Chain A
């Protein structure tokens, strides 16, 4: 119970319920720490972490970096655009070159599905997946569930709807795994072209009417439309998407209950949610960001605990 069942965090699929409980419990301690006048602990002062970002990221990268610094780890940052990757170096070579500089842990975001698993099998370091293509984004799902637990007391039994581009979303997949593992009920809502064909095999239901979905749910997790991953037109226009699946203040006012509204960011204000919704009392978007640092500190700390002391 006191240590994780996995040596790497590659996806939520590899975790069990106890792992999630342990991560949340540890994150609660770290959340208290990051609200102190001095927000730093010395635990990881002999650990070096490389942040390998082969794909753009602002929030996740900053959040990981801050989490690492608040644990006193030494860090190095690498982004693909400024690296030898553009000169033809393979992923294993890049990673091994970095590891030769005595790095213990790699946090990696990569456009290809399974990049984290591949790296974990081929290099000697602890790997944290910070997003691999359209596959998984485990720390985002953990911080989303943690935010739900913080707002509603527990995740078990809660009704969660994930709205938007499910097909291209690693956040959606990791969230589905995490929520189901904790006993939540999950629906996905979006244009059918953006909902994977066999999604119901994961134990989730499909809803195409956003109003019905909102009426049903305790939590709505709204995703961004990922234009950069779309090679064809999945819906006629942004305007039509907004009309059919966008969430506005009036829709929330018409629900005679308060729901928890989440968004992993970055928000396209006026597309998937309007500005007044993003800033409304329903929204916990900024809580998610704060919890993100605490969750990442917990994950890094618990994985570092498994790295043998030399």
Chain B
């Protein structure tokens, strides 16, 4: 199967800056806001976003955690290969905070459903929003949509979107 480059590295840089601006616009100074990168690949995206927030917008005290959703997934015993867990690192409670989930690709919406359950182990957030780098349209299996999206792409189900 052939492949097509959807976004190159300089475009990603522009997108990251735009998403950072949108985030600060809705969450001034990120006060009472926590950023949660979803393991494994959402964390890579979140790390880059946070370094921009720190270097370009002088935001120092960012509450940032990494959430693994493996044990909350709905395909345990149903997927072909065993699920592999990653590290969760959230050393704060999210009670009454504005939580922003950060993930790489939004596809079926099932990972986000699992993340919505998983985050409850750390308290009851005031609000939860979703930021994704790529929003695969027309492939949702649950009523979940992003609040911030880097790029919308139209992909048929058999095709794969990869982020390097």
Query: Contacting A36 at CB < 8 Å: which of B81, B87, B121?
Result: B121
B82 interface contact, C-beta 8 A: yes
Stretch in contact with the other chain, from B12-20, B70-78, B101-109, B147-155? B70-78
Query: Which residues of chain B in 57-116 are interfacial with respect to chain A, using CB atoms and an 8 Å cutoff?
Result: 68, 70-73, 76-78, 81-85, 87-88, 93
For B87, list chain A residues within 8 Å (CB). Answer: 29, 32
For A33, list chain B residues within 8 Å (CB). Answer: 71, 88, 121
Query: Which residues of chain A in 8-48 are interfacial with respect to chain B, using CB atoms and an 8 Å cutoff?
Result: 25-26, 29, 32-33, 36-44, 46
Query: Contacting A2 at CB < 8 Å: which of B71, B81, B122?
Result: B81
Q: Are A42 and B121 in contact (CB under 8 A)?
A: no
For A307, list chain B residues within 8 Å (CB). Answer: 77
Query: Which residues of chain A in 265-310 are interfacial with respect to chain B, using CB atoms and an 8 Å cutoff?
Result: 301, 304-305, 307-309
A81 interface contact, C-beta 8 A: no
Given contacts A29-B87, A41-B71, A43-B71, contact A36 B77 (CB under 8 A): no
Q: Are A304 and B93 in contact (CB under 8 A)?
A: no
Name B68's closest neighbour in chain A (CB-CB).
A29
B139 interface contact, C-beta 8 A: no
Query: Which residues of chain A in 63-108 are interfacial with respect to chain B, using CB atoms and an 8 Å cutoff?
Result: none
Q: How far is the CA of A301 from the CA of B72 in the complex (A)?
A: 12
Q: Are A37 and B71 in contact (CB under 8 A)?
A: no
Given contacts A33-B121, A304-B77, contact A42 B82 (CB under 8 A): no
For A39, list chain B residues within 8 Å (CB). Answer: 121
Q: Are A309 and B78 in contact (CB under 8 A)?
A: yes
Shortest distance in angstroms between A67's beta carbon and chain B's nearest beta carbon? 13
B51 interface contact, C-beta 8 A: no
Chain A interface residue count, CB cutoff 8 Å, equals 23
Q: Are B72 and A41 in contact (CB under 8 A)?
A: yes
Given contacts A37-B123, A42-B71, A43-B71, contact A32 B77 (CB under 8 A): no
B120 interface contact, C-beta 8 A: yes
Q: Are A2 and B82 in contact (CB under 8 A)?
A: yes
Given contacts A2-B82, A32-B88, contact A37 B121 (CB under 8 A): yes
Shortest distance in angstroms between B90's beta carbon and chain A's nearest beta carbon? 8
Q: Are A38 and B121 in contact (CB under 8 A)?
A: yes
Q: How far is the CA of A37 from the CA of B88 in the complex (A)?
A: 14
Name B118's closest neighbour in chain A (CB-CB).
A41
For B120, list chain A residues within 8 Å (CB). Answer: 38
B117 interface contact, C-beta 8 A: yes
Q: How far is the CA of A305 from the CA of B76 in the complex (A)?
A: 7
Q: Are A43 and B68 in contact (CB under 8 A)?
A: no
Shortest distance in angstroms between A42's beta carbon and chain B's nearest beta carbon? 6
A57 interface contact, C-beta 8 A: no
For B73, list chain A residues within 8 Å (CB). Answer: 43
A151 interface contact, C-beta 8 A: no
Q: Are A3 and B117 in contact (CB under 8 A)?
A: no
For A308, list chain B residues within 8 Å (CB). Answer: 77
Q: Are B82 and A305 in contact (CB under 8 A)?
A: yes
Name A46's closest neighbour in chain B (CB-CB).
B77
Q: Are A37 and B68 in contact (CB under 8 A)?
A: no
Q: How far is the CA of A3 from the CA of B83 in the complex (A)?
A: 9
Q: How far is the CA of A36 from the CA of B123 in the complex (A)?
A: 10
For B68, list chain A residues within 8 Å (CB). Answer: 29
Shortest distance in angstroms between B10's beta carbon and chain A's nearest beta carbon? 37
Name B94's closest neighbour in chain A (CB-CB).
A37
Q: Are B85 and A29 in contact (CB under 8 A)?
A: yes
For B93, list chain A residues within 8 Å (CB). Answer: 37
Shortest distance in angstroms between B133's beta carbon and chain A's nearest beta carbon? 26
Q: How far is the CA of A43 from the CA of B77 in the complex (A)?
A: 9
Shortest distance in angstroms between A296's beta carbon and chain B's nearest beta carbon? 15
Name B121's closest neighbour in chain A (CB-CB).
A38
Given contacts A33-B121, A38-B120, A41-B72, contact A3 B77 (CB under 8 A): no
Name B86's closest neighbour in chain A (CB-CB).
A29
Query: Contacting B84 at CB < 8 Å: which of A2, A36, A309?
Result: A2
For B121, list chain A residues within 8 Å (CB). Answer: 33, 36-40
Shortest beta-carbon contacts, A-B, top 7: A41-B71, A38-B121, A2-B82, A309-B77, A3-B82, A29-B85, A36-B121
Given A36-B122, A42-B71, 12 additional A-B pairs, CB 8 A:
A2-B84, A29-B68, A29-B71, A29-B88, A33-B88, A33-B121, A37-B93, A38-B121, A43-B76, A44-B76, A305-B82, A308-B77
Chain B residues with a Cβ under 8 A of chain A: 68, 70-73, 76-78, 81-85, 87-88, 93, 117, 120-123
